[in-house]
Structure 1
Amino acid sequence: MRSRIDGGWTLQDSTGREFPATVPGCVHTDLLAAGAIADPHLGDNEAATQWIGHRDWRYRTTFDAAPGARSDLVFHGLDTLAAITCNGVELGRTENMHRSYRFPVDGLLRAEGNELTVELASAERFAAARTAETGGDWPNPFHRPYPVIRKMACNFGWDWGPDLVTAGIWRPVELHTWHTARLASVRPVVTRAGDTWTVTVHVELEYADGPADVTVEASVAGVRACAPGPGAIALTVTDPALWWPAGHGEQPLYELEVRLSTGDSWSRRIGFRTVALDTGDDEIGSRFVLLVNDRPVFARGVNWIPDDTFVTRTGPGEYRHRLTQALDANVNLVRVWGGGLYETDAFYDVCDELGLLVWQDFPFACAAYPQDGRLAREVEAEAREAIVRLAPHPSLALWNGNNENIWGWFDWDWREPLRGRAWGESYYLDLLPRLVAELDPARPYWAGSPYSGSMDRHPNDDRHGVSHVWNVWNEEDYLAYRGRTPRFVAEFGYSGPPTFSTYTRGIGDSADGHQKAADGDAKLDRGLADHFGTGRAELEFDDWLYLTQLVQARAVQVGVGHFRSAQPTCMGTVWWQLNDCWPGPSWAVIDGDRRRKPAWYALRDMYAPRLLSIQPGRAGLELVLVNDTDEGWAGTAAVTRHDFDGRALAAGTVAVSCPPRGVRRFRLLGEPGRPERELLRVAFDGRTADWFYREDRDLEYPPAEFTATADADGVTVTAVTLLRDLCLFPDRLDPAAETDRMLVTLLPGETARFALRAAAPLPAAALVTAPVLRCVNDRYRCAQEGARLA
């Protein structure tokens, strides 16, 4: 019998103050609920709560217990340095956020009023002491001690999130009462041989009083088998429905159940599919292609960070909302980044249901890590547990050893400060691949991201393996994406501010604007200067917000459009990043209040299964068709060069066709007469693609003129003049309001409809005027010079 111990908890600090506590939870959220601190996510409050990570804390509760032959207290997640005491007896100590702990309490429990205490030591002090013990600072970009402690690295701050070092009981606590034997581990491995599928269920048992006669029964898809005691049970399933990633098929799930004759049981949903990684050599270098059921899958991906600084506030509902937002953006792969954690089962359950492939990093990021015995033992324990826990999920497609650590060893000047100390290489090239091969042999493993498949090659070599493209944003404009063609790009991104409602609620007049990126404001200004010839100092806030969000959206369009067009050389794009953990500027397309930025709409459009885009080629502009469907795509495309008054200056047609899961290129019209006043448009199959021959700063836009009407369901705009990147921002009127589209370009006479979702009707006059309704050529000001209400 399992019973949750989730009530009656209190929290006490080292000064003796006591507060009600929630388990699962953390100190910050308990103090916030008690009114003892201001919200660390708002304004300048982050700095005012730094003290929390430097103190010790005590959680305490009482619970009742029913008698049983054996009783264990199970802690599914402790953050991080805990000493656990039950009825005055210390059960053990922990120092790893990424694993669970089980403590036998036979003979300690009474029927009523058992006292349970969890004392949590300061992670800041522990990490400082361990850093000294292990030879001094471990190189990392933020000069924080996270490499020496098995705790979510981004708790110590990142270039998109706050430095708020947490402590708490972050996953459930259970009392498990059992007899004779229990299921200590269940690990299914799904394999295929021809048309036959086998689910091999590896079962480990723990006995209460030594080995006993126990029967294990396993069943799935109507197939049942039994075994006497622990070991492997093989279930052969004929012709099951296959699980496919989104856009390739359905996602049928089958309940796998394992039962002991003693009454203990285990169940999970599994899927029938194979996954492999093609890294074979070719004329360019070596491939990096995910294969699902032997089919190459182009990864339309996003990177996932912890969805909240305080991770217990992300429950099943929040996971479903956020991951559905990813699916709605035509995403088919989510990379769980290594500076975070192994997510809860609810995350992977949703991915299983939605068909979102999961690339799972082991939790190592951007740092050199000690390899001493103490830390290595923790790494092995957490990895073993995580591999076994996540193995049933069909969405899990790839294990990845680390984020940017191999790159750091090559390029980030680590060798002098390390002074010969091991930096984590044995984890990524020995321990972790051995554990995956042992425990999850049907899934591929890759040593790092970026990584080129060999320590004899530079890890970020575009000809091999996985690349990160950070010359864009850090050093160059987003047009530089077109100068790179990686085999698979697992990180590339461009920053932008959050939506208006999120900005005003969360940032307001904060002194640093929640800007965590190195020179982040200067880089935002560089993007404005490159494309609009202006900077923040010359702009009112509303103009700055719109234009910087637009630059981010344009970066999505250029980067994703280029990389998808480069198939089959490039077979995956994973945008950095999907989500945010607090309200601030970042590379996310969905901000910290779960609102979709203009970049989300750009990502959705560029990840469309059928993509029409115009790309620069070696001999001029080309029309590129990307067809990520199982049906061919063919017809006649209309190609027209317009001036900004809407007149057709040249026109023609192109017969086009693209095979299933293919890419095709077609040569387009020649050079423009007046590039500062012309654009090229291609129309095909209900889609359009536009090409402007100059950057905005060099274009002679007409003043924006249009008619607009608003009703309860949306806004209709008819262009009188060219309108570029027309956007509707209804959150300025109702923070919960959303629209179905953004970034619409209209020629004179064309009409666009923006559907609205809002709790109540919004004021019509405000909906059709700036700053709610904006386009680039409204002179970069919140003034509707020439707009007319209809």
Structure 2
Amino acid sequence: MRYSLLLLIFICFSCQLEHDLPQTIELTENWQFKKVSDTIWNSATVPGNVHSDLLDHNLIEDPFIGNNEKDLQWISETDWEYKNTFLLDELTLQKKNIELNFEGLDTYASVYLNDSLILKANNAFRKWTIDVKSLLKSENELRLVFESTSKYEEVEKAKLAYELPESERIFTRKAQFQYGWDWGPKLNTSGISKLIKLVAWDALKIDNVHVRALHLTDSIADLSIEINKRSSVELDKKIIYHIYVNGSLIKSSEPTHTNDQQFNRFQIIKPKKWWPHNLGEPYLYDIKVIVKQDEKILDSISVKKGLRTIALVTEKDGIGESFYFKVNDVPVYAKGANYIPQNSLQNKVTDGDYEKLLNDVVDANMNMLRVWGGGIYENDIFYNLCDKKGILVWQDFMFACAMYPGDKDFLENVKQEAIGNVKRLRNHASIALWCGNNENSEGWHRWGWQADRSDAEKAEIWSNYLKVFDSILPNTVAKLTDTNYWESSPKYGRGNPKYKTEGDAHDWWIWHDGYPFEHLEENVPRFMSEFGFQSFPSYETIRYINQNDSIEITSDSFKNHQKHSRGFQIIEDYMERDFPIPDNAEDYVYMSQLLQAYGITKGIEAQRRAKPYNMGTLFWQLNDCWPAVSWSSIDYFGNWKALHYKVKRSFEAILISSKIENEVLKTSIVNDNMSQEQGILNLKLIDFSGNIIWEDSKNIIVVANSSAIKYELDLNTIRFNKNEVVLVSKFENSTSHFYMIKPKDLNLKTSEITKTITKTLDGFNIELTSKTLQKDVFLYADTKGHFSDNFFDLLPNESIIIHFKSNIKTLQDLQVKTFNNFIR
């Protein structure tokens, strides 16, 4: 009886919810692919790409292993074909409107439906919508032919009377890094990169909505919602829009004809604001629009919306011009990294990969990622997670390190690409900035691209640059969003002294020009949007590249995964300057990671100390797209390098940071919190056996959102050897260990580290103690897992507990490496 009653209630409720919703069919099954010149078809994965499909059928070797990449260049020079047969029932065929939505085709694709050409696609960053009502029948064949990009690039190149930098990639609107970069392989993919959907509808279809905060205070949020729709409803029948917030009906429109453009205004009382995670809760409202006609639901759409104001502040001052972000009228110090695609074969990136990487971002106290312009406009899940986790996104348009053509067709293609992606992303609270390109302007003005060109030629190339980056892109952003636009990153190249006083900066004096890391302490810009240094990846990654259990870094197979022509030598030159050079591969890998972390954190802390002159630091780079020697802080398999562990400390909300100037020790406290901090600053100078040489304490107040020197000490008043001491500073829950000389000059001692391992529910607790200071302790094991901390200093006669998260039952292969063992 109980179940009968429930069934009756369900039937009655269903009757009340009569609808005529659009029907969506995702075409993901039963795909096949082949070379255009072949006759044999193989199954294919959609979304995907040719390289992945070939790999899945063992028709090629894994391009990420050894030298295999070099033998696979024929794939991008070949034309490929995909096909799918799908059935439609009579109810679907009777719908008044039926379209195919191609959310991503990479790149030059001719699309045939039942042998009729319906689309010639030429941009991997665009979505294509085609009306196919008249071509459909019960059984249908969809066929796509992908042609080599080089065919089109050669044609476009021949149209110009001059050559443009850099290479043929500039003519094709697809991920530029696929043509090869100094951290990634040359794997120019093609295929159905995103979903293909068949959408059938009768009355009305909502394409998208745009929710804007017109006015936002602690007491009220005035909002507008723009509803972009298509309709075939008779004009004598009116429709009603209903707006729901967190499940509650907020407002309903008056009955209106569907050819009226709808702009609905509504309010939220005492709104919860969205904040970057380090400053508050990244609260998201669930806003839903339902469209009805005669009580029948025609369509609905939902968005997760964070309410915040955000602005890029660039104001002239006595030094130059500021560059910082304000969120909800609060200046925010940006802490983070540059982000590149997570895999050269993008379909291999799972939702779990996005979740893990962005958790790693939050865990390392980062609040901003720059989506670099040579990659992709990321999938929706990336931005959804950034919204949810409170991570700001600096979003580049996809142009990098080149000058681009300016013909009518190219410009129109770029315009539609920009419109589509800005509309797709504009509701995301995490989007802080749209930037036109990466280093195109710097390249033109500083990299010799103008050499041996006529004045007319230079004028035309620069004019075409301005058409895109000073017209199309800023106009699109201004028209469609309230988000700021920035023409090019950096504003000035490092050859221009203004790079330190205006705009954002890319400081590659280190690495490319061989400047010592100390250069970063003396040359702090207003906002550092790029700087970096390479290191070797984890042992796991090296073994995978070589397909060998030993750690080998001199094989040809491994060398292919260093894409910078001078990379190995630059690492060694810097290592010789500041660190000992180990004589075996395993130790060399460890030392390279310490070297990278040492240099980059030196720069980060100098930049944070300079707050508010400097208001952001984004190092290059967060992640890898394949197993490689690179600038990343997290390697291809998700292992944290020393850099990621150490930037976690350097990005803490309360940072204690010291430096020596003219034999005066100056200790600064940086406070990124919105509240004042008060407490005792404790400082002590100890030797490596734990003996206290000097100590002092001071009651201090640290103003909210500030940086200031809180302690000064004339080192000439103390007798000690700089190579035998460490300064241990503590304030609130923050601790700092400061060494006064280069790591290689420290007179460290060797001593056993005592380990006690205890099983926990999700892994193991590892307690460590030592009679002497152990510097840069590195814990590692062959089993997969994550250490809560690593590459840390173990103070003498103190214990530390590290958690190793892993699903293994016993931890028998734990190994420990310490910097002490390399000092002789």
Q: Which residue of 2 is the match for residue 50 of structure 1?
A: 73
For 1:60-139, list aligned pairs within 5 A.
60-65=83-88, 66-67=92-93, 68-111=95-138, 113-139=139-165
What letter matches 1:206 in structure 2? R
Q: Which residue of 1 is the match for residue 805 of structure 2?
A: 757
Say which is worse superposed, 665-674 or 342-351, in terms of deviation. Answer: 665-674
For 1:22-421, list aligned pairs within 5 A.
22-65=45-88, 66-67=92-93, 68-111=95-138, 113-140=139-166, 144-192=167-215, 195-208=219-232, 215=239, 217-221=241-245, 222-226=249-253, 227-229=256-258, 230-261=261-292, 263-416=298-451, 419-420=457-458, 421=460
Q: 1:707 to 1:205 in 2, by over 3 A?
A: closer
Query: In structure 2, how many angstroms separate the alpha carbons of the residues matched to 1:436 and 1:491?
Result: 24
Q: Which residue of 2 is the match for residue 784 of structure 1?
A: none
Say which is worse superposed, 75-84 or 174-183, in terms of deviation. Answer: 174-183
Whether contact under 8 Å (1:637, 1:656) holds in the other structure is: yes
Query: In structure 2, how many angstroms separate the alpha carbons of the residues matched to 1:21 and 1:497?
Result: 35
Shift of 1:481: 1.0
Whether contact under 8 Å (1:612, 1:687) holds in the other structure is: yes
Query: In structure 2, how many angstroms separate the alpha carbons of the residues matched to 1:7 and 1:606?
Result: 48
Q: Which residue of 1 is the match for residue 15 of structure 2?
A: none
1:474 partner SS: coil
Q: 1:572 aligns with which of 604, 616, 622?
A: 616
Query: In structure 2, how many angstroms separate the alpha carbons of the residues matched to 1:94 and 1:417?
Result: 36
For 1:581-730, list aligned pairs within 5 A.
581-617=625-661, 620-665=664-709, 666-671=711-716, 673-712=720-759, 713-730=764-781
Q: 1:496 aligns with which of 518, 530, 535?
A: 535
What letter matches 1:564 in structure 2? R
Whether contact under 8 Å (1:83, 1:120) holds in the other structure is: yes
Shift of 1:193: 5.6
Query: In structure 1, how many angstroms separate the alpha carbons of the residues matched to 2:701 and 2:472?
Result: 48
Post-superposition Cα deviations, 1:449-503, rounded to whole Å, max 9, x if no partner, equal: 1116xx9x95962101111111112222322210211111111111111111112
Say which is worse superposed, 13-22 or 260-269, in terms of deviation. Answer: 260-269
Q: Which residue of 2 is the match for residue 788 of structure 1?
A: none
Q: 1:433 aligns with which of 455, 474, 488?
A: 474
Shift of 1:619: 6.3
Query: In structure 2, how many angstroms separate the alpha carbons of the residues matched to 1:220 and 1:477?
Result: 57
Query: In structure 2, how many angstroms separate the alpha carbons of the residues matched to 1:215 and 1:297?
Result: 44
Q: 1:471 to 1:212 in 2, by over 3 A?
A: farther
1:649 partner SS: strand
Whether contact under 8 Å (2:50, 2:190) holds in the other structure is: yes
What letter matches 1:668 in structure 2? L
Whether contact under 8 Å (1:370, 1:422) holds in the other structure is: yes
Whether contact under 8 Å (1:507, 1:583) holds in the other structure is: no
1:338 partner SS: coil
Q: 1:571 to 1:239 in 2, by over 3 A?
A: same
What letter matches 1:517 in structure 2? H
Shift of 1:741: 0.6
Q: 1:544 aligns with which of 567, 582, 588?
A: 588
Query: In structure 1, how many angstroms separate the alpha carbons of the residues matched to 2:257 and 2:500?
Result: 52
Shift of 1:556: 2.9
Query: In structure 1, how many angstroms separate the alpha carbons of the residues matched to 2:675 and 2:212?
Result: 33
Post-superposition Cα deviations, 1:532-564, rounded to whole Å, max 9, x if no partner, equal: 243xxx620111011001111112321111111
Q: 1:208 to 1:127 in 2, by over 3 A?
A: farther
1:39 partner SS: coil
Query: In structure 2, how many angstroms separate the alpha carbons of the residues matched to 1:218 and 1:429?
Result: 39
TM-score, normalised to structure 2, is 0.89
Shift of 1:331: 0.9
Whether contact under 8 Å (1:366, 1:405) holds in the other structure is: yes
Query: In structure 1, how many angstroms separate the alpha carbons of the residues matched to 2:540 and 2:510?
Result: 28
For 1:461-476, list aligned pairs within 5 A.
461-475=499-513, 476=515
Whether contact under 8 Å (1:639, 1:681) holds in the other structure is: yes
Whether contact under 8 Å (1:278, 1:288) holds in the other structure is: yes
Query: In structure 2, how many angstroms separate the alpha carbons of the residues matched to 1:214 and 1:473?
Result: 65
1:773 partner SS: strand
Q: Specify every segment of 5 or more residues in structure 2 that has no aligned partner in the other structure, as ranges.
A: 1-22, 548-554
Q: Which residue of 1 is the match for residue 10 of structure 2?
A: none
TM-score, normalised to structure 1, is 0.93
Percent identity of paired positions between Structure 1 and Structure 2:
30
Q: 1:746 to 1:439 in 2, by over 3 A?
A: same
Q: 1:540 to 1:212 in 2, by over 3 A?
A: farther
Query: In structure 2, how many angstroms separate the alpha carbons of the residues matched to 1:478 and 1:178?
Result: 61
What letter matches 1:376 in structure 2? L
Shift of 1:715: 2.4
What letter matches 2:729 in structure 1? V
Query: In structure 2, how many angstroms separate the alpha carbons of the residues matched to 1:381 and 1:218?
Result: 31
Query: In structure 2, how many angstroms separate the alpha carbons of the residues matched to 1:209 and 1:258?
Result: 18
2:135 partner SS: coil
Say which is worse superposed, 153-162 or 741-750, in terms of deviation. Answer: 741-750
1:308 partner SS: coil
RMSD: 2.2
How many residues are paired up? 762
Say which is worse superposed, 3-12 or 217-226, in terms of deviation. Answer: 217-226
2:443 partner SS: helix
Post-superposition Cα deviations, 1:37-94, rounded to whole Å, max 9, x if no partner, equal: 1111111111111111110000100112221111111100000000000001000201
Q: 1:459 to 1:695 in 2, by over 3 A?
A: closer
1:107 partner SS: helix
Query: In structure 2, how many angstroms separate the alpha carbons of the residues matched to 1:437 and 1:763?
Result: 56
1:266 partner SS: strand
2:55 partner SS: helix
What letter matches 1:241 in structure 2? K
2:125 partner SS: coil
Matched, 1:738 2:786: yes
1:543 partner SS: helix
1:681 partner SS: strand
Shift of 1:185: 4.2
Shift of 1:429: 1.4
Whether contact under 8 Å (1:218, 1:233) holds in the other structure is: no
Shift of 1:129: 2.8
Shift of 1:212: 7.5
Shift of 1:360: 0.7
Q: Which residue of 1 is the match for residue 9 of structure 2?
A: none
Q: Which residue of 2 is the match for residue 777 of structure 1?
A: 820
